[in-house]
Structures are given as structure tokens and as C-alpha cells.
Amino acid sequence: MTNDIQVRDQMTAIWKKAVSLYRGGNYDHSRWFDTREREFLAGIGTQPHEIYDFAEDYCDDGVPSLETFLRIHEIRRDYFLKQQGGVLSRHEVPAEALPARQAELGGFAWLPRLIAKAQAKLRGELHHSIMFGCGGDRAFLREHGLRAEDFFQAVRDHENDDDAILDWLAKHRKPSS
């Protein structure tokens, strides 16, 4: 089994490759990775389109950072290996199945959608047209002084308990002034 440092190194190399390809005008992520890289990604529960989403947003918006990318995929990998036994889910969450953008939980608009996206990302079930950590997600997190990787870990820790996630949010948020 590959150790955590080796996985982090491989994911860093994949990130750098994806950013370079995207910056070079190659937007066809289906051709970004060779067989070995695809097998590696499958072995940690990650799809090539997920790498594309992070590279695209980084190149276009300057975020999310490499560290955020790595941490989110480390959390996903841990869940994939421990909770899913290394077996990909066959379920897929399409955009229309997500809560509406204006839906609220505890008075927080966007939170139900963010939780649902994080849960689907955790399970490897997000449709390729959806990204956990997109611009809308980042705006919510920024408004409340939260990091995407910390929120994702909270969802991991309280996977099916929206009230516990809401409690976590109340304890950790630092609203922008």
C-alpha cells in the first residue's frame, strides 16, 4: 500500500500537471492522465474530472490552493478506503437533486446545498457537472471565515447529522466584518 507521503507527492504532481495543461489551453481532461495516473486516481476514489475542476478554478480564480486540494482529497481517500472499502459508489448525485441555492438550515442560506455537495464528494457521488468547493461554496465559506477542507472534515466527522454540522459551524465560524 502506498503511504500518505507518497500519495501526497503523487497528488501534488497530478495537480501541477493539471494546472500546467489547463494554463496551456488543454481543457480536455479526458486526455490529461496516462493509465498509471488513472489507476492511481481510481485507487484513491478520485475521478479525473474532479482534478479538472480544482485546476480550472485555481487557474481562473487563484483558489482553491494546492494545500486545500490535497487536504480535501486526503479526506476523500481516507473515507474511500475505510468506509467504502476501496469500492466506488455506483450512485450519482445530479445538480437537480441538490437543495436549492436559497434553501436554509439554521438561518444560513446555501448551507443545505453545501452539506449535500460535501456528502456527495465524500462518497464519490458528485455528478461531473458539480464541484464541492465551487465559487458559491467558497463565497459561503469566506463569509463565515471557514476553510473548505475544515468544513469537509466536519462533514466527514458528522456525515449524516446536519444538526451536528450546524453546531460545528456555530463554534467555528468567524463572520467577515
Together in a domain, 106 and 170: yes
For the stretch 97-110, pLDDT in tens is 999 999 999 999 99
Together in a domain, 68 and 41: yes
Domain count, the chain: 2
Together in a domain, 118 and 47: no
Together in a domain, 84 and 95: no
For the stretch 30-87, pLDDT in tens is 999 999 999 999 999 999 999 999 999 999 999 999 999 999 999 999 999 999 999 9
Structural domain boundaries enclosing 27: 1-88
The identity of residue 20, as a single letter, is: S
Q: Which of 88, 117, 150 is the last residue of a domain?
A: 88
Beta partners for residue 93, in sequence order: 126
Q: What mean pLDDT do residues 142-169 have?
A: 97
